[in-house]
Amino acid sequence: MKKELLVFLLIILVLVIILGIKILVPKDTKTYTGEEIKNKILSAFDYTNYTYEYIQGGEKTIKKVRGSIIVTENDKNISWVDGNSNTAVSIDKEKKQYVTFSLNDTTKELVYKKDFLDMQSLMDIYGNDFYYISNENYRGRNCLRVQPGKEETIYLVDEETGFILKYEPEEGNIAEFNIEINNVKEEDVKMPDLSEYTRAGS
């Protein structure tokens, strides 16, 4: 009887240990390779209709993308770019002036970008040298907390869309982003009315 009791207690102890391990160890421990992180960020470039809002130091810039047209606006400037026609307009709202110019391969690379942070250039530098830190819920979106190369800056990447939603530099202002998909209408990205502005240099 004593032997049976000891066996029974031993079985209970083993079950408790197993149960404890299951509770303490997360079931779905996520991890991402540098290549997976890079591909996740690159997926943001597949979107052709969205609003991307950038806030840093209390200043807001809004970028609207529909097809080949990108309109970027803040309190001081408006930029209108059509990647298909290689045409761009830049407006200085304070000086009430504008300039128009055509895009060549070089200027198109500089001006026609779909992200505020220029993650494409960052990935050109670091390749797959991205490090996964953790998952984090940010403004209701599941994000990957990552670090590129030896940079001290931390990026939050929206796991669903690949857009950067926050970056935290070691020094300087934290930048935060909002993203809305498929909300840009044709009238939202039409060429700005230049009648209230004068051409710069004229």
Q: Is residue 17 part of a domain?
A: no
Q: Is residue 86 part of a domain?
A: yes
Q: How far is CA 129 from CA 32, 38, 40, 123, 132, in A?
A: 12, 9, 14, 8, 10
% of the chain exceeding 90 in pLDDT: 53
pLDDT (average), residues 156-167: 93
pTM for the structure as a whole: 0.78
Q: Is residue 18 part of a domain?
A: no
The residue range of the domain holding 94 is 34-192
Q: Is residue 197 part of a domain?
A: no
pLDDT (average), residues 68-79: 94
Tokens of 201: 């240099």
Give the number of domains in the chain: 1
pLDDT interval class at 23 (50, 70, 90) = very low
- Assign residue 185 the CATH number of its domain: 2.50.20.10
CA distance 142 to 140: 7
Q: How far is CA 71 from CA 60, 93, 182, 188, 194, in A?
A: 14, 14, 15, 8, 14
Q: Is residue 155 part of a domain?
A: yes
Q: Is residue 198 part of a domain?
A: no
